[in-house]
């Protein structure tokens, strides 16, 4: 393994493997991989889990009920549609689990969604207002 900065070459241990995790588009200005670097790897693309699977994950990880998890996943799907309208990052399953955990601890649904989903995604007033409108429309 060549170490360019020090000019060293290290012997890799038997069975050595390198695994790289990369989120395309995430913090693009800071961490975008050069095409020549990307060409050195085998890529496996992941998308969000199916709604049914994501509901099961939220239930298992947060202890919330299935109806609440279903509502959160539906909200996330609606919010993910804003990606092409200026939302830099879509709501992750992790954010849904955080919201569900708040709800399970007694925080009102809309407050939990605003705190755990909307606020971490943007501080742009227009996007926040649009996301809050979706929260209001999704939670009856």
> In which residue are the tokens 């919010």 written?
79
In a domain, 28, yes or no: no
In a domain, 69, yes or no: yes
- pLDDT for res 120: 95
Q: Tokens for 92, please give them.
A: 């992750």
Q: Residue 61: give the domain boundaries.
A: 51-138
pLDDT above 70 for 136? yes
- pLDDT for res 29: 52
Domain count, the chain: 1
In a domain, 71, yes or no: yes
pLDDT (average), residues 36-51: 86
In a domain, 9, yes or no: no
In a domain, 37, yes or no: no
In a domain, 41, yes or no: no
Q: What is the pTM of this model?
A: 0.77
């Amino acid at each position: 393994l060549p170490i360019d900065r020090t000019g060293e070459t290290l012997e890799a241990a038997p069975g050595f493997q390198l695994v790289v995790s990369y989120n395309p588009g995430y913090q693009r200005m800071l961490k975008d991989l050069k095409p020549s670097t990307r060409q050195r790897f085998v890529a496996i693309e992941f998308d969000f889990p199916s709604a049914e699977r994501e509901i099961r994950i939220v239930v298992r990880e947060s202890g919330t009920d299935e109806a609440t998890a279903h509502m959160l996943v539906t909200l996330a799907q609606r919010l993910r549609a804003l990606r092409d309208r200026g939302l830099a990052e879509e709501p992750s399953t992790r954010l849904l689990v955080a919201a569900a955990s708040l709800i399970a601890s007694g925080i009102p649904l809309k407050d939990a969604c605003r705190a755990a989903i909307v606020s971490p995604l943007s501080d742009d007033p227009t996007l926040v207002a649009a996301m809050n409108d979706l929260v209001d429309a999704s939670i009856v």
